[in-house]
């Protein structure tokens, strides 16, 4: 695995020694270059929780991935560059039902820099564009929206502002995990009818001040406005148009035939 090839993948020629500015630039470049997507699941490709396999997919084949792939690769990159990332587990909140996913539902990481702890997450479709300080009550606006961190007991909540209300994206604790801890949930998210990734064929890419999202037979363009608002437009797609959209808009050419999907999620009975 070649670090120079990864840097080229995220449109960087070089990165300096560990620093906050270098980390911010690396994080931002990753989310602007690498899509968050579930296309493997809908085109006959098994996702393998192995860094070399993920590197080949994202860097060599110029694909995207879901959180275990994007954040797993990013954590490896940070280690190679001299950072000391800690892997954490989170549970995503379903925006329709308000229920949280199973433990190890989502992967994030933290880095200690310049006397503060920074939360990194390059693997969440509507999440942060740059690292945020792991501080209770932190609130800030980025190109991808307005976010804040709230704490209840030992649980941290990453929240996103939508007009005048706040919506929790996921909750997590500061207990350190290993990459291997997510193996069972990686399989779950490829097979379970309760998995968003199984029920939706999608690909979403952050742009400066905007986001482009393919899902099912739709292409959704989102323009972010100041203060947490947004303007969305939707284009209906035919089966024939989808491969062209993936190639021209996201730079993705699939090996297998994509079966478009956009179905309701069957939620399990989860204790909250």
CB-based contacts of 156: which residues, under 8 Å, 6+ apart? 134, 136, 149, 150, 171, 172, 173, 174
Q: Pick the catalytic residue: 27, 30, 105, 121? A: 121
CA distance 203 to 68: 15
203: β partners = 37, 214
From the list 30, 67, 105, 203, the catalytic residue is 67
Helix-, strand-, coil-residue percentages of the chain, each rounded to 5: 30, 35, 40
Annotated active-site residue 106? The verdict is: yes
What is the pairing mode between strands 155-162 and 202-207? unpaired
3-state secondary structure of 246: helix
- Report the distance separating Cα 270 and Cα 23, nearest Å: 36
Q: Give bridge partners of residue 175 from the DSSP assignment.
A: none
Distance CA 42, CA 54 (A): 17
Which of 27, 30, 42, 106 is catalytic? The answer is 106
Measured in degrees and rounded to the nearest 5, phi and psi for residue 266 equal -90, 105
Of the candidates 143, 113, 119, the residue with the CA atom closest to the CA atom of residue 133: 119
Residues designated as active site: 67, 106, 121
């Amino acid at each position: 695995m070649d670090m120079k090839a990864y840097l080229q993948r995220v449109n960087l020629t070089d990165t300096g020694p560990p620093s906050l500015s270098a980390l911010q630039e690396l994080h931002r470049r990753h989310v602007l270059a690498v899509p968050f997507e579930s296309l493997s699941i809908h085109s006959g490709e098994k996702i393998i929780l192995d860094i070399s396999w993920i590197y080949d997919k994202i860097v060599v084949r110029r694909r995207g991935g879901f959180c275990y792939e994007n954040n797993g690769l990013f954590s490896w990159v940070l280690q190679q560059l001299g950072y000391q990332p800690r892997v954490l587990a989170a549970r995503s909140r379903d925006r329709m039902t308000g229920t949280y996913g199973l433990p190890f539902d989502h992967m994030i990481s933290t880095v200690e820099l310049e006397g503060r702890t920074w939360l990194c997450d390059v693997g969440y479709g509507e999440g942060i564009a740059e690292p945020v300080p792991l501080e209770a009550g932190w609130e800030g606006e980025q190109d991808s929206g307005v976010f804040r961190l709230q704490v209840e007991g030992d649980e941290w909540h990453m929240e996103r502002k939508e007009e005048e209300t706040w919506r929790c994206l996921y909750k997590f604790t500061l207990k350190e995990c290993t990459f291997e801890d997510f193996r069972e949930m990686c399989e779950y998210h490829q097979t379970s009818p309760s998995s968003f990734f199984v029920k939706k064929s999608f690909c979403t890419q952050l742009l400066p001040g905007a986001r482009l999202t393919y899902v099912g037979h739709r292409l959704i363009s989102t323009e972010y406005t100041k203060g947490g608002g947004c303007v969305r437009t939707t284009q209906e797609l035919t089966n024939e148009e989808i491969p062209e959209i993936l190639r021209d808009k996201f730079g993705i050419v699939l090996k297998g035939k994509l079966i478009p999907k956009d179905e309701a999620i069957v939620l399990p009975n989860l204790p909250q």
